[in-house]
Amino acid sequence: MSINKVLAIIFTGLTWVFLGIGFYSAYLGYLPAGLDLVVEAVGLFLAGMISGVLYAGIRNLNKSKFGLGLVSAGYILFVPVGILLALLIPPLMNMSDAPVSTRVLILTPFAIALSSNILIAVGLGITAGLAFSATSLSDRVHGAQILSEPVRIR
C-alpha cells in the first residue's frame, strides 16, 4: 500500500473518532468522562480504520468512474448509520459480568468496531454489486452496438 493510502486510512479513523464523539454528545446531551470516553474513542478509531481498509479495497476493484462514484456515495451514506450503531450497541450488550479490565481493553472496542463495520461492509457490498452490475450492463450494451454494425466483405 502506498503511503497516501495509509495516511488516508489513519485520517478516516481519526474522522470517525470526532464524528462519533459528536454524535454521542448530541445523542446523550453530554460526553462520558474518563475511561469511558477513551474506550469509545479507541473503539471508534479501530472502526474507522477497518472501514477505511474496506472502502479502499472495494474502491480498488472498480475501474469505472460511475463505479467509484457509486461506492463512494454508498460509503458516505452508510457511515453515519454505522457510527450511530457503534454507539448504541455496546451499552445494550450485557458486559457487566466481565472484569473491568477485559471490558475496557477488549469487549467494548471490539463491539464498537464489529457492530459498525458489519453495516459498512453490507452497504459497500450492495453499492459495489450495483456498480459491477451497471458496468457489466454498460459493457454488454456497448459490445452489442459494435457487433450490430454491418460487416462489409470485399
For residue 18, the enclosing domain spans: 3-147
Q: Is residue 100 in some structural domain? A: yes
Task: Return the C-alpha cell found at 68.
Answer: 467509484
Query: Which residue, among 71, 51, 22, 53, has the nearest Cα to 119 in the 3D structure?
Result: 51
Give a yes or no: residue 154 inside a domain.
no
pTM reported for the whole predicted model? 0.77
pLDDT at 93: 66
Tally of domains in the chain: 1
Look at residue 148 in the predicted model and tell me its pLDDT: 54
Q: What integer pLDDT is reported at residue 130 of this predicted model? A: 85
Q: Domain for residue 134, yes or no?
A: yes
Question: For residue 44, with 0-12 CB atoms within 10 Å meaning exposed, 13-18 middle and 19 or more buried, which class applies?
Answer: buried
Residues of the chain with pLDDT under 70: 1, 91-106, 141-154
Residue 117 is predicted with a pLDDT of 85
Q: In this predicted structure, what is the pLDDT of residue 32?
A: 74
> Residue 48 has which C-alpha cell?
474507522
Q: Is residue 91 part of a domain?
A: yes
Nearest to 16 by CA among 53, 44, 58, 55: 44
Q: Is residue 123 part of a domain?
A: yes
Q: What is the pLDDT of residue 138?
A: 74
Eight-class DSSP state of 120: H
Report how far residue 101's alpha carbon sits from residue 62's, in angstroms, rounded to the nearest whole number.
Answer: 42
